[in-house]
A = this chain, B = another copy of it.
Amino acid sequence: MTPTPAARQSTLRSSNLALVLRTVCAEGPLSRADVAVRTGTTRATAARLVDELVAGRLLDEGERPAPPRRGRPATPLLPGARVGALGLQVDAGLLAARVLDLRGRVVAERVEEDDLVGSDPVDTLARLGVLAAGLLAGMPAGLRPVGAGLALPGLVDVAAGALLRAPNLGWSDVPAADLLTAHLPTELRPVLGNEADLAARTVAETAPGRPGPLRDFLYLSGQIGIGGAAVLGGRVVTGSAGWAGEVGHVCVDPAGPACRCGSTGCLEQYAGRHALLTAAGLPLDTPPVDVVARAEDPDVRRALDAAADALGIALAGVVNVLDLPAVVLGGHLAALAEPLRPRLEELLGRRVLSARWRRPVVEAIPGLPAAGATGAALRALGDVLADPVAWLG
């Protein structure tokens, strides 16, 4: 236990700098006077803090497209466009590198689709490293990269920067951060994260520091298997070691089919992409839209119903334990939301203890491809928002 250090004058300053930066990030263009009102400080103090952030390039003074009003026109403040973070992702079907700026805009990206199941981790991460290095080399000179993150579909050891196990890739014990650092500037050693956790972050946070419409929800990322993440108060619940969110291995029926995890009747065995397509008698590369199109086919209908039932049972359990007002379907499950929803909502209404007072809502948010990469960049930019002083140099 590191004892918490007491707050000193400088702590006050950092904390208020962070508050001002967060405020501008969260509420679009604001003037110095707006910032003073939002933070409850005087204009004098707000201006002082803003000036420091502008000097450190974390905030930009915009040209004034001033809506004509009385009084001296305000200079609009925006999150710094010259601060960017690198988000990386390796998934069963793609390799992605994406740079986001503090406004949450995609500055540059490269996505390579490829079947990476069973690929060699060293080769694949080297490919990703080259991809990322190329992306950074092509960046406009003014942009300063402040951090990097890597989304991986599996259990991750954040402190060590290592992937423990990613069943969908067939990878185990990969020192991913070390392998990538060889291709990147030293200050851009990527912080690892679980793909579903980071994808969930893109739903909770539409841009750095800007809260999304939902603050509490369970996110499901349907891939070959099923990943998930619970979000409470806008923060992803990562658990004590960062291994939370394995919704795909919640047991739906102890007498159900064996799962590769060693257990039986896991949710993944009903609602995972492979399991669902197999049950529906469709080829494993059938895109979700085709599944929806054939929803009236009896075999497909039966598979969809079984998936909805399994989701209902598993998610009701999670909602009972965590009290979440919404379930967000992402990944391939987003596309299947329509045929799944009626049965799923009915089950949640019946099996969730508090449904009588607040019935859980099912939302579908497809998200852009490689949402994990965006989430990884958001995490890195979140570090800047949390402690701007460290980035003012």
> Which of the 9-residue segments A144-152, A350-358, A381-389 touches chain B?
A350-358
Residue of B16, B316, B322, B350 touching A239 (CB-CB under 8 A): B322
A321 touches B323 (CB 8 A): no
- Known A155-B357, A249-B320, A249-B351; 18 more pairs at CB < 8 Å: A3-B38, A5-B39, A6-B39, A7-B12, A155-B353, A232-B237, A239-B322, A239-B324, A241-B358, A242-B323, A243-B353, A246-B321, A251-B252, A251-B351, A254-B313, A262-B351, A263-B350, A317-B317
List which A312-345 residues lie within 8 A (CB) of chain B: 313-314, 316-318, 320-325
Bound CA span A322–B237, Å: 7
A353 to B225, CA, bound (A): 13
| CA–CA, A4 and B313, complex, Å | 39
Write out the residue numbers on chain B whose beta carbons fall within 8 Å of the beta carbon of A316. Answer: 251, 263
| Closest Cβ neighbor of A35 among chain B residues | B6
Question: Do A240 and B313 have beta carbons less than 8 Å apart?
Answer: no
In the complex, are the beta carbons of A19 and B40 less than 8 A apart?
no
The residues of B that contact A41 with a CB separation of less than 8 Å are 6, 8
Interface residues of A, CB < 8 Å — how many?
Answer: 68
A141 in contact (CB, < 8 A): no
> Taking the complex as formed, is A78 at the interface, i.e. its CB lies under 8 A from any CB of chain B?
no
Identity of the chain B residue whose Cβ is nearest the Cβ of A36 in the assembled complex? B6
Closest to A22 in B: B4
Name the residue on B nearest A325 (C-beta). B240
Chain B neighbourhood of A230, CB < 8 A: 321-322
B251 near A325 (CB under 8 angstroms)? no
| Choice from B215, B239, B354 contacting A232 with Cβ under 8 Å | B239
Inter-chain CA distance A351–B232, complex, in Å, is 25
Chain A, residues 164-204, CB within 8 Å of chain B (1/0): the string is: 11000000000000000000000000000000000000000
CA distance A297 to B228 in the complex (A): 43
Known: A240-B215, A254-B309, A358-B241. A321 touches B247 (CB 8 A): yes
B317 & A241 in contact (Cβ 8 Å cutoff): no
From A155, which residue of chain B is reached at the shortest CB distance?
A: B354
**Cβ–Cβ contact A353 & B249, under 8 A:** yes
A-B contact pairs, 9 of them (CB 8 A): A4-B39, A9-B12, A11-B12, A239-B324, A241-B323, A246-B354, A251-B252, A251-B316, A254-B309
With an 8 A cutoff between CB atoms, is A205 at the interface? Answer: no
- By a CB distance below 8 angstroms, the chain B residues around A318 are 317, 321
Would you give the shortest CB distance from A203 to chain B, in whole angstroms? 15
- A356 and chain B: residue at smallest CB distance: B165
A213 to chain B, nearest CB (A): 12
Q: How far is the CA of A263 from the CA of B354 in the complex (A)?
A: 12
Cα separation A255 to B253 with both chains bound (whole Å): 8
Q: Let me know if A216 is at the binding interface, CB within 8 A.
A: yes
Q: Is A244 an interface residue (CB 8 A)?
A: yes
- Pair B321/A244 contact, Cβ less than 8 Å: yes
Asked, given contacts A11-B12, A313-B254, whether A243 binds B45 with beta carbons under 8 Å apart, the answer is no
- Cα separation A58 to B243 with both chains bound (whole Å): 40
What's the Cα separation between A45 and B5 when bound, in Å? 13
Q: Residue of B at shortest CB range from A228?
A: B321
**What 0/1 pattern do residues 354 to 373 of A give for CB contact below 8 A with B?**
10111000000000000000
**Interfacial chain B residues near A245, Cβ < 8 Å:** 321, 323
